[in-house]
Amino acid sequence: MDIKSYIRDVPDFPKKGIVFKDITPLLKEPKAFRHVIQLLGDRYKNHKLDAVVAMESRGFIFGGALATHLGISFIPVRKPGKLPWKTICETYELEYGTDTLEIHEDSIGRGANVLVLDDVLATGGTAAATIRLVERAGGKVTEACFLMHLTFLNGQQKLKSTPFYSIIQY
Ligand code: AMP
């Protein structure tokens, strides 16, 4: 299946110069969405994972489906002030300014094997901050996984030694 044919390029969204990779055509087509989850399920079924950690908000869509498919935990990483319990937070640099992500401090069992999952690896700041959150919460990141990798932004450099995988590359 040609997954790229279900990704819509939206130029100048959310701001000028960004080509937004819109996943809604893929989510609308059940065969394509299921194909992605099955592909990831096949890849990770023997990885002895305990949890999928995914970032707000598009990561939740794939992360929830994959965690259920694999029969393992789903753990959300969210923007500040959204999680109701005690949190650990990580702040990371953006092109202009900073951003912060949070995880519940008791969400990950000590030594748990975790898959970090998001829709897009762009500059890598979001994924790198999430990896740090998982490690500070006591988990081990087995791999960071993305539906799409925007290779020209070199985000993989920020992941340092964490193995990463993407289904499609641009
Ligand atoms: P980054 O921290 O730069 O790797 O950005 C990753 C986050 O921003 C992911 O959660 C993506 O959902 C989102 N993102 C970045 N660039 C794009 C893009 N071109 N199209 C869609 N989402 C993007």
| CB distance 6 to 25 below 8 Å | yes
The overall average pLDDT reported for the chain is: 97
d(CA 104, CA 108): 8
Peptide bond into 107 cis (omega under 30): no
DSSP class per residue in 134-163: HHHTT-EEEEEEEEEE-GGG-GGGGGTTS-
* In the predicted structure, residue 32 carries a pLDDT above the cut 90: yes
- Burial bucket for residue 20 (CB in 10 Å: 0-12, 13-18, 19+): middle
Select the more confidently predicted residue: 161 or 94: 161
| CA distances (Å), origin 99, targets 61, 79, 81, 133 | 21, 8, 13, 14
User: What is the arithmetic mean of pLDDT over 98-107?
Assistant: 98
pLDDT-wise least confident of 43-52, 91-100, 101-110: 91-100
Query: Which pLDDT band, with edges at 50, 70 and 90, does 95 fall under?
Result: confident
Nearest CA to 50 among 107, 119, 128? 107
Residue 90 is predicted with a pLDDT of 98
pTM for the predicted model, two decimal places:
0.97
To the query of whether residue 29 is one of the catalytic residues in this protein, the response is no
Hey, CA dihedral for 94, 128, 78, 105, is it positive or negative?
Answer: negative
Nearest CA to ligand 1 atom 19: 20
* In the predicted structure, residue 113 carries a pLDDT above the cut 90: yes
Check if 20 has its Cβ closer than 6 Å to any atom of ligand 1.
Answer: yes
Residue 94 is predicted with a pLDDT of 87
* In the predicted structure, residue 11 carries a pLDDT above the cut 90: yes
**Neighbour tally for 138: CB within 10 Å:** 16
Query: Which pLDDT band, with edges at 50, 70 and 90, does 125 fall under?
Result: very high
* Gap from CA of 135 to ligand 1 centroid (Å): 22
Which domains are seen in the chain, by residue range? 46-169 (3.40.50.2020)
* Gap from CA of 104 to ligand 1 centroid (Å): 23
Residue 70 is predicted with a pLDDT of 98
Query: Which pLDDT band, with edges at 50, 70 and 90, does 96 fall under?
Result: confident
Check if 126 has its Cβ closer than 6 Å to any atom of ligand 1.
Answer: yes
Point out the catalytic residue in the list 29, 34, 56, 58.
Answer: 58
To the query of whether residue 58 is one of the catalytic residues in this protein, the response is yes
